[in-house]
Structure 1
Amino acid sequence: MYEYAGAVHIHSVYSDGTGKIEDIAKAAHDSDLDFILMTDHNTLKPIADGYEKWLNNVMVIIGYEVNDMANKNHYLTFGINEVIGSYQELPNGELGCKLSANEYVKQIKDKGGIGFLAHPDEERSHLPEHPPYPWIEETDDFTGIEVWNHMSEWIEGMDEGNKLDRFLHPLKSIIAPNPKTLKRWDDAAMNRHVTGIGGVDAHALKQNVLGFFEVEIFAYKVLFKSIRTHVLIDEPIVKNSNDSFCKDKTKILDALRKGKCFIANYYNGDARGFRFYAEFKGITCNMGDTISANGEKVMLRALVPKECDIKLIHNGKPAHESKGMNAAWDIKEPGIYRVECWQAGRGWIFSNHIRIK
């Protein structure tokens, strides 16, 4: 398996971010990322302008983030070359899709695209100038869920007492995915495959200080040191080859579609080399796979780059916990299994599920 690390959910000057895509790619390269997934709001203009390609040694994949007329039900969309639906300006100057969330999610799926519910469990009420953007509509056509969103966790947990500390230490303040989102993910995955991804939701917003100068809040390079999504694919991508770009883009998106990926917070350590897999009758199965064991024993294994607390989650509930750089479990009970790795009470790595029937 070939492993590539990327940052997902990034905004540029094409919507409400402040960075040019070429500069964002340079920041990604400086942060040792292999790919970035751009998600400007309700637009694919960066594709028309030629930005979906290798830039500064980083694969730039262009998607978009769609929302409804209530500016809720945000959906990270990839793998299609059109913006679904028609749009109307909202009171805050942003755009809203006239389709319902159920309708645009289904149309994206029907056209071969993939999509992820973005920051689905936001619920803050203490910052009226920054309202929540939760997912509130019922649908079963989504590919997956943005399980961990840096900016969502940062702002959801901010109050008057910790505001300064969170501004000064934007990485330190990120602890773990929202338990409600983890439950949403596990509950949905009980019925079918649902991929979990992590996103940074980067904007690099600029704040005026004392009326004299602007300070960039959470530069792209800062957020690229936090939540990453790693994909595992069978064949290598050809670096800096725009001739094979479309083929390699498909490899990345297929890995996300199938759940051949895991989430890591790099503030807690480099996650390259993490593996969660199953062994059954001489066959190795990976995240996103389904095993028909029919009550026979399956060996689950986790390999971690450094010592940590390794937790096995079965059907959304903790099943086993150990400390070390590897763990193995003999499993006979059917269900969905995933692994969480923690460092000193802080979430580090979250795998996708392996399903055992």
Structure 2
Amino acid sequence: MDFNEYIGCLHIHINQETEKQILESIFYEAKQSGLDFIILTPHTPVKRRWDDYFSLEGYKDGLIVLTGEEADEGSGQNHILIYGNRLWLGKKPVEEIVSHQNNNLLMFAAHPDGQHNLFGFSVDHKWKKKNLFNSLTGIEVWSALFDFVEKTNPSNLIFRYFSFPHNLQGPSLVTLQKWDRILKKRRFVGVCGLDMHTLPFLIKLLDVRKIFSFRIVFKTLRNHILTQKKITGDFEKDRDVIVDAFMQGKVFFANDFIADSRGFFLGSSDKKKTMGDFLSIEEEILVEIPEKSYINIKIGSKIVYSGNVKRLVLKPDVFGACRVEAFYKEKAWIFSNPIFIQHPKN
């Protein structure tokens, strides 16, 4: 069975002052970068006087534009990337925000271990209320912004600037371990996010190499969904295809600036099942990588295989959430959501 692959970026910021021509530029650059969809996630406006924002949703010259939100409690912690709402949900206790999950919203914990010293002092954007993870769809495992700023400070800012995006390191070990712990108990979908903002005029002038332009950033961390359904041009149906794929965890995310990750596959050897599905321990796992690379196959937190491969068939001998990490030329490249290995009687 063939799966259709579609590529998109999420955690993209605009605001009420973003001009129409800038929006059109964002949509154009996304399409030129090979994206099929983007999910906008502006911060909740303080006075919530931006109700026409949600009307931006739809097809824009062949690009699917979805309008979400980065909601918070009015603080730097416990931010949630939300999609599916048509009213602003943020600027209230996070417990109240996640209570809307029964409305089948996509909800991802944003930059759960995010912190930086970019301005010479510590700034903390971590998730503190981890008990609420059970109310979320999943977690932003890899953040482009926090990957960059985590090791950036005033003394090395210029060097780090001219090294971007080649200096993206990959998800933090702490976040990966957190993801694996939750996957032992339940489905918890991992995604990557850009946390990309439109640059203020002065900073845009200082960005002499246009490194932080959408044209560059859209080619870095991208989510690839696999679905049996095809995108047809009918917006409502196509939106549901994308949302369903995220809900089911049929997604891998990659730094496509390193190499094109299209064609990656994790699933059953007959290709009838993929990430997010359940596989009997008696069945074989198939891993296909677009370029020969060093991979780790993890079931739970245990590495069951490591090696340089382009294609691998493996019969697991343990139960649990099985996911793949791929490293290309010693750089973090592809991270898959898991396929779930279960006992044949379950």
State the TM-score, normalized to the length of structure 2: 0.89
- Pairwise CA distance, 1:356: 1.3
Q: Which residue of the partner structure matches residue 356 of structure 1?
A: 341
**1:30 alignment partner AA:** Q
Judging changes above 3 Å, is the alpha-carbon distance between structure 1 residues 69 and 57 closer, same or farther for their aligned structure 2 residues? same
Name which of 6, 9, 14 aligns with 2:8.
6
Residue 317 of structure 1, CA deviation? 2.9
TM-aligned CA distance change 1:189 to 1:25, over 3 Å? same
Whether the aligned pair in 1 keeps the contact of 2:54 and 2:86 (CA below 8 Å) is: no
Asked whether the equivalents of residues 9 and 199 of structure 1 are also in contact (C-alpha less than 8 Å), the reply is yes
**Displacement of 1:213 after TM fit?**
4.8
Distance 1:18 1:152 in 2: 28
Which residue in the other structure is 1:257 paired with? 247
Distance 1:214 1:331, change over 3 A: closer
The answer to whether the 8 A contact 1:22-1:56 is kept is: no
Correspondent of 2:163 among 163, 169, 173: 169
Aligned to 2:116, the other structure's residue is in SS state coil
Offset, 1:105: 1.4
Cα offset for 1:126? Answer: 6.0
Shift of 1:207: 6.4
SS in 2 for 1:250: helix
The 3 A distance-change label for structure 1 pair 331 and 302 is same
Q: Structure 2 vs 1, CA of residues 19 and 169 (structure 1 numbering), >3 Å: closer, same or farther?
A: farther
Matched with 2:138 is 144
**Aligned 8 A contact 1:79 1:112 in 2:** yes
- Check the 8 A contact 1:19/1:204 in 2, yes or no: no
Contact 2:111–2:141 at 8 Å: present in 1 too? yes
Determine helix, strand or coil for the equivalent of 2:96.
helix
Aligned to 1:342: 327
1:226 is aligned, of 214, 220, 229, to 220
Which whole-Å CA distance do the structure 1 matches of 2:69 and 2:248 have between them?
20
Runs of 5+ consecutive residues of structure 2 not aligned to the other structure = none
Query: Which of 296, 307, 311 in structure 2 is aligned with 1:322?
Result: 307
The answer to whether 1:60 aligns with 2:65 is yes
| Mapped partners of 2:96, 2:271: distance in 1 | 40
User: C-alpha distance in 2, partners of 1:129/1:219?
Assistant: 26
Q: Distance in 2 between matches of 1:17 and 1:181?
A: 35
Measure, in 1, the Cα distance between the counterparts of 2:206 and 2:16: 20
SS in 2 for 1:28: helix
Gaps of 5+ in 1: 86-96
What's the CA shift string for 1:212-263, capped at 9, x where partnerless? 955466111111111000111111112xx3xx20111011011011100100
Q: Which residue of 1 aligns with 2:97?
A: 104
Q: Is 1:132 aligned to residue 112 of structure 2? A: no
Aligned residues of 1:205 and 1:217 also touching (Cα < 8 A): no
Report the residue type matching 2:295 in the other structure.
I
Aligned length: 333
Is 1:298 the counterpart of 2:283? The answer is: yes
User: Of residues 22, 41, 44 in structure 2, which corresponds to 1:42?
Assistant: 44
**Which residue pairs with 1:88 in the alignment?**
none
Query: Aligned equivalents of 2:277 and 2:147: distance in 1?
Result: 29
Using the alignment, how far apart are the partners of 1:334 and 1:349 within structure 2? 23
Letter in 2 for 1:36: I
Seq. identity, %: 28
What secondary structure, in the 3-state scheme, does the structure 1 residue paired with 2:298 have? strand
Q: Distance in 1 between matches of 2:87 and 2:294?
A: 43
- C-alpha spacing 1:329/1:314, structure 2 compared with 1 (3 Å): same
Shift of 1:123: 3.1
Structure 1 position 42, deviation (Å):
1.3
From 107, 111, 119, the equivalent of 1:115 is: 107
Preserved CA contact (<8 Å) 1:197 1:229: yes
